[in-house]
Amino acid sequence: MQPSSGSRPRDAWATNAGFLLAAVGSAVGLGNMWRFSYIATQGGGAAFVGIYLLLVAVIGVPVMTSEFIVGRMTQRSPIGALRSLGGPRWVPLGWLFVAGGFGIISYYSVIAGWTMRYAVTALGPGIPADTGVFFGEVATGADALLWHVLFMGITVFIVYGGIKKGIERASLILMPLLFLLLVGLAVWAFTLPESRAAYGAYLDPNLGQVFHRRILTDAAGQAFFSLSLGMGAMMTYASYIQTKHDLAREAVIVSACDFGVAFVAGLVVFPIVFTFGLRDLVGESSVGALFISLPTGFASMGAAGKLVGGGFFLMLFFAALTSSISLLEVVVAAFVDRGWARHRAALVFGLVAALTGVPSAFNTDFLGAVDAIVGNFLLIVGGLLICVFVGYRILPQADGELARGLDSPILRRLWAVLVRYVVPALLLALLFFMLEPTWEAVKTLFTAWM
């Protein structure tokens, strides 16, 4: 077993609400704000939303419950948790999580840096009318690097503070602000002239489009990324729980909040796109749409656009921040459990994360490729292995841990069946369909450097 951090007691959440908000904060991120609604329009509106919800219920909730169980049961970071429950053979999975954490944070922080830059520009001098040119200046090069490093600095500052005084406190402040901004923006978007038509386009059920392989795999990948699964982030957060709450219920709450935010974000984005005639600008790239199309709309609104645009990108920044702290915490927790001081771990690995982001700050193709490989493929691999671990290696203990809060044997049985059979089968199919795009991304990763 790992040496625990000497005589220092392990940090923990002060309240259950703090844990829930932090977990929702991890889940709600850049993935919710644009990608969800973007895929929804490609994939048949309300019919897509239905399928997505189904995937969240069938795949997301059981996997999140499993991560919660392992974390709370062991009170350790994923590496220590897997070692104590599964023996040394399972330790590499913990390292895969740590590597995945670095992988995601490396490019996630670059995009988060853009959102900061946009928020500051919108509230200050105003975003220039030619948003395409502006994005070109902001997205790569020394500027991108600077804001990426700044964002990492803020992330480190919060993680440095620990669970109670850092992550929990930040979540208690940032998440309510995020909800307020989101609701305010949704109400404002409702008043836009084209909002009815936009809701129609967003939500018109089109069953014909949903059952395309591409849409289904996109939806499943999106659900996984959006719920922060497959990388030990939820496991790590749950390792700081000391109450007997029903973990399945908490997984439902977190998933529902995550879905709710994604859904409402669509109600913000679509009316803007429709009202300002940006439909043609929303090209193939979802990132381009977010950072080029929407600001065009804001810019055409004059003074009001400053406020709305500033609020919008501030909201994205808060969403990104509460997600990136969970990514860094996975890495930091692993080393705190091995006896490192938290301060040192936060600083050292924050610096490492900032360095691993350098290629993404200089090349958006590279950024996209890392997202496809780590943000999609690797997470599914991680999720599959978590299911195998929980469903086949430690099922009786895991069931016992779940039973501390969930009395119903029927629901626990349902969870076990999902984790043992249904989810692994679905994830295997998904991995198979992802092989080709992932291979393409691997090639891009190398050519981006040539």
Contact residues toward ligand TRP (CB under 6 A) are 26-27, 29-32, 104, 225-226, 228, 231, 233, 323, 326-327, 379
Q: Which is nearer to ligand TRP, 114 or 225 (CB)?
A: 225
CA-to-CA distance for 279 and 299, rounded, in angstroms?
Answer: 16
Classify the C-alpha dihedral 424-430-436-441 as positive or negative. negative
Give the residue ranges of DSSP H helices in 78-168. 78-86, 91-123, 131-139, 142-160
In the complex, least distance from residue 324 CB atom to ligand TRP, rounded to whole angstroms: 7
Instruction: For ligand TRP, give the closer residue by CB, 185 or 254.
Output: 254
Residue tagged 């626990």 (tokens): 412
Min. distance of Cβ 233 from ligand TRP in angstroms? 4
- Report the alpha-carbon distance of residue 192 to residue 94 in Å, rounded: 48
CB of 107 to ligand TRP, least distance (A): 11
Nearest to 438 by CA among 430, 450, 448: 430
Are 90 and 74 within 8 A, CB to CB? no
Q: Determine the residue with CB nearest ligand TRP.
A: 29
For the bound state, the minimum distance from the C-beta of residue 403 to ligand TRP, rounded and expressed in Å, comes to: 27
187-197 in b/e form (b: 16+ CB < 10 A) is ebbeebebbee
CA distances in angstroms from 406 to 99, 232, 307, 417, 440, listed in the order given: 33, 22, 46, 16, 44
**CB nearer to ligand TRP: pick between 27 and 372:** 27
Q: What's the Cα-to-Cα distance from 202 to each of 234, 266, 359, rounded to whole Å?
A: 30, 7, 35
Q: Name which of 220 and 379 has its Cβ closer to ligand TRP.
A: 379
Nearer residue to ligand TRP within complex by CB, 26 or 75 = 26
Question: How near is the Cβ of 275 to ligand TRP at its closest, in Å?
Answer: 26
Q: Are 341 and 41 in contact (CB under 8 A)?
A: no
Neighbours of 17 (CB within 10 A): 12
Closest approach, Cβ 393 to ligand TRP, in A, equals 22
Q: Residue 30 or 406: which CB sits closer to ligand TRP?
A: 30
The nearest distance, CB 345 to ligand TRP, in angstroms, is 18
Asked whether 195 and 186 are in contact (CB, 8 A), the reply is no
- Residue number, 27 or 292, with CB nearest to ligand TRP: 27
User: If we measure between CA atoms, which residue out of 405, 37, 413, 33 comes closest to residue 219?
Assistant: 37
Comparison of 333 and 406: residue with beta carbon closer to ligand TRP: 333
Any idea which residue has 């981006």 for tokens?
Answer: 448
Nearer to ligand TRP, 30 or 198 (CB): 30
Rounded least distance, CB 382 to ligand TRP, Å:
8
Q: How far is the CB of 148 from ligand TRP (least distance, A)?
A: 16
The smaller minimum CB distance to ligand TRP, of residues 27 and 361, is found at 27
Q: Which amino acid is at 202?
A: Y
Rounded Cα distance between 316 and 70, Å, is 31
Minimum Å gap between C-beta 322 and ligand TRP is: 9
Tell me if residue 425 falls in helix, strand or coil: helix
User: Could you identify the residue written with the tokens 């008043």?
Assistant: 191
Which tokens go with 125?
A: 């001098």
Minimal distance, residue 326 CB to ligand TRP, in Å: 5
Residue where the block lists tokens 């501030």: 314
Residue 29 or 162: the one with the smaller Cβ distance to ligand TRP is 29
